[in-house]
Structure 1
Amino acid sequence: MSRPEKAPPLRRRGEPMRRAVSEVVVRLLTDQGPEAVTMADVAAAAGVHESSLYRQFGTREKMIFEAATRYSDQALPAQPAGDDIADDLRSTMRALIEYLNTPQGAALVRLSAVPVSPEFDQERTAYWHRRLDRSADVVRHGVETGQLKADTDPTLVVDALAGPVLARLALFHEVMAMDDVMRLVDQVLRGITV
């Protein structure tokens, strides 16, 4: 396992430091896995002092969590609900597949299945619940606008769509083809559309 390249020492503080640290952490997670992320290596590669990392993040796990969620929030923004539930669900799933087709997205989702520490695992679970609940908002909007049956369970719809995609990634280390995902959306919609 190779050590990350050292960055020139900088006097980064606040947001510029957090951004630089997040970029290094995501790169290490993607290229080498969570075991490669150490405070010393991240500090050297980001051009900051190791003590600054401890002051900003407290623990290695919190640093990894912030980097992973920061990247995911930027690369996989919540999709807004529009006027057509079919378009909304296709857009949501298209964004997920595009995210998973990046080395970073695939690595960060795989990290979700790796136990790190009780605190990290709890925060990570809460984060993904919030993310999936935002996707369920699109389905709720479809129910509220009368496009979907009134008894549609938004959480189950999101599970029915995201579950096969995430299972394929976890079990086979492959991303479901976009055409298959769009067919999945159509099949799920047939069961819940008014």
Structure 2
Amino acid sequence: MVNAARRPGDGPRQAQAIFTATLELLAERGYDGLTMEGVAARSGVHKTTIYRWWTDKDALLGAALLNSALLELPAPDTGTLRGDLLALTGHVLRLLTTEPSASVITAALTAAGRPVLSRLAHEFFADRLAGELVIFDRARQRGEIAADIDPKLVVDLLAGAMWTRVLLRQEQPPPGFAAQAVDLVLTALGWSG
């Protein structure tokens, strides 16, 4: 059983080093080449410490994807919905187009068809969406959007544009791409900011 989501502070003191090593090895060797022994060697943390916290590589990979500083997606607070969405989409584009995060994301998606990793992907995106909801709560409080706007749909539309352009079309988005996507979505929402 995968227990990817741990309480903050859970894990060994060297958790970030372990997560970094896990994601580096995933990017370099793919899912099949990722081993607990390799993570131990790369991170400099004894294998028994790693196994004490994560029973197998799926649990470790899940924890790394959810808790690594490499894939953090902070909820911006610029004072406007448009500003927040621009900052959010800009951050997503940077994750998708710069190393090492781009290679990690590609490797994780390649392995996502496995049942265990499919659950991890669900947890990863649910965790990120939970962090993004504050953007929409603030926008509602400021009167920028109606109460019935579905934040998940807005995020899916914007993230889908970024992911499709970079990962499926394998193109570098042109300058202003994120702003154009945000403005199209906001126009469809009737945003009056």
TM bucket normalised to smaller: 0.7 to 0.9
Q: Is 1:91 aligned to residue 87 of structure 2?
A: yes
Match of 2:13 in 1: 15
- For 1:21 and 1:174, how far apart are their aligned partners in 2? 32
| Residue aligning to 2:74 | 78
Aligned CA RMSD, in angstroms, stands at 2.4
**Cα distance, 1:178–1:25 mapped onto 2, change above 3 Å:** farther
Please give the alpha-carbon distance, in whole angstroms, between the structure 2 residues aligned to 1:178 and 1:129.
29
Q: Percent identity?
A: 24
User: Contact (CA 8 Å) 1:133, 1:155: kept in 2 or not?
Assistant: no
Structure 1 residues 152 and 14, CA gap change in structure 2 (3 angstroms): closer
Structure 2 unaligned spans of 5+: 1-10
**1:138 aligned residue:** 135
Equivalent AA in structure 2 for residue 49 of structure 1 = H
Are 2:25 and 2:33, in contact at CA under 8 Å, matched by a contact in 1? yes
CA drift at 1:116: 6.2
Answer whether contact 1:100 1:175 (CA < 8 A) is retained: no
CA deviation digits over 1:119-148, x for unaligned, max 9? 442133122112123223312321332112
Displacement after TM superposition at 1:74 (Å): 5.0
Tell me, in whole angstroms, the C-alpha distance in 1 between the residues paired with 2:70 and 2:40.
Answer: 23
Instruction: Give how far 1:90 is off.
Output: 0.7
Q: How many angstroms apart in 1 are the aligned matches of 2:188 and 2:113? A: 38
Q: How much has 1:165 moved relative to structure 2?
A: 0.9
Tell me how far apart the structure 2 counterparts of residues 34 and 104 of structure 1 sit (CA, whole Å).
16
Cα distance between partner residues in 2 of 1:113 and 1:139: 31
Give the Cα–Cα distance (whole angstroms) in 2 for the partners of residues 95 and 137 of structure 1: 16
Q: Distance in 1 between matches of 2:178 and 2:125?
A: 20
- Which residue among 33, 36, 42 is the counterpart of 1:36? 33
Q: For structure 1, which runs of at least 5 residues remain unmatched after alignment? A: 1-12
Task: Give the one of 150, 153, 156 matched to 1:153.
Answer: 150
Q: CA deviation at 1:62?
A: 1.1
Aligned match for 1:66, one of 63, 66, 80: 63
Aligned equivalents of 1:171 and 1:86: distance in 2? 26
* Cα deviation, residue 37, structure 1: 1.0
Deviation at residue 35 of structure 1 after TM alignment: 2.0
Of the three residues 99, 102, 125, the one matched with 1:103 is 99
Q: Is the 8 A contact 2:161 2:181 kept in 1?
A: no
Which of 162, 187, 191 is 1:190 aligned to? 187
Code of the residue aligned with 1:83 in structure 2: it is G
The amino acid of 1:158's aligned partner reads: V
> Which is greater in Rg?
1
Query: Among residues 45, 50, 53, which one is paired with 1:48 in the alignment?
Result: 45
Tell me which of the two structures has the higher relative contact order, counting C-alpha pairs closer than 8 angstroms and 6 or more residues apart: 2
Equivalent AA in structure 2 for residue 108 of structure 1? V
In structure 2, how many angstroms separate the alpha carbons of the residues matched to 1:134 and 1:49? Answer: 33
